[in-house]
Amino acid sequence: MKSELELRGVQQRFHARGVAGGYITAVDDVSFTLAAEPPQVVSLVGQSGSGKSTIARNVLGLQKPTQGSVLYGGKDIFKLSRAEYDAYRRDVQPVFQDPYAIFNPFYRVDRALWKAVKKFGLTTSRSKGLELIEESLRAVRLEPENVLGRYPHQLSGGQRQRIMLARVHMLRPSFIIADEPVSMLDAQVRKHFLDILLDFQREHGMTTLFITHDLSTVYYLGGEVMVITKGSIVERGPVSTVMHDPSHPYTRLLLDSIPQPDPDDRWTTRIRVDELDEEEEAEKAPATTSGPETPII
């Protein structure tokens, strides 16, 4: 049976000059569990600065929480042995936001794939390694002859992101931590990327934590969603339920801020997210007849 990935009471503080108390709280008492069986897609959605990427860093072991624990198979990932941590790194794989920064421009893109083959001992020979790389590239809808041997600047952003998905496909992890992976891609390439994540879930049993500020991608992926603001998760549940019957005022604000495809329906007011700390304040928010209110996010 595959291990679960759990955040338990995670809090992340950062020192900050000129701030009351001398620190800011980026993540505030966050707890959730990602199950590997059955595989699922769980989206974490909120505005910029809400704590989403900090949670990703906690899960990936790049940032130790100030308080709380990140558990893998019931063990704190920051207390794992070297062998256990190597297994964790293989089983929990990241996909980052910027397709232009994830590759070293001085090396061909092949290097990122061969590094994974060698680091994790995926094959016993170079010929089998090449077969594995080509198979994984085709799995993410890339033709090997079109990308292998090229430098990063010779490929599009979408091709670079799919090469990182090919690396994930080679390793077959239980968990993918995808931090805003489609925010820099155009609509058509974005759809291909999301379809590949869904293929990974159905065909290879991978669970994805999909971190985003874009509700349209959340709706397309389906599954579960957690809504975060000011470092706290304020609502969670199936995407269909949260989207169609939100219970928290911040979730309703996010949904109301989605632009309408009508050039005559224009926003006329601006509202700050911190005005929605209490349910009563949301009820008192001024209405507009010419378009939905938009938050500053």
Q: Extract the residue ranges of the chain whose pLDDT is less than 50.
A: 280-297
Separation of alpha carbons 297 and 33, rounded Å? 27
Q: Of the candidates 1, 7, 2, which has an alpha carbon nearest to the alpha carbon of residue 209?
A: 7
- pLDDT recorded at residue 102: 85
Could you give the C-alpha distances from 162 to 62, 93, 172, in angstroms and in order? 23, 14, 15
First and final C-alpha spacing in the chain: 41
**pTM for the full predicted model:** 0.86
Indicate the helix (H) or strand (E) that contains 241: helix 239-244
- pLDDT recorded at residue 163: 95
Q: What is the pLDDT of residues 44-88, one digit of tens each?
A: 999 888 999 999 999 999 999 999 999 999 999 999 999 999 999
DSSP SS3 for 151 = coil
- pLDDT recorded at residue 101: 85
Work out the number of other CB atoms within 10 angstroms of the CB of residue 249.
21
Task: For tokens 């989206």, name the residue.
Answer: 43
Domains and CATH numbers, the chain: 5-245 (3.40.50.300), 249-297 (no CATH)
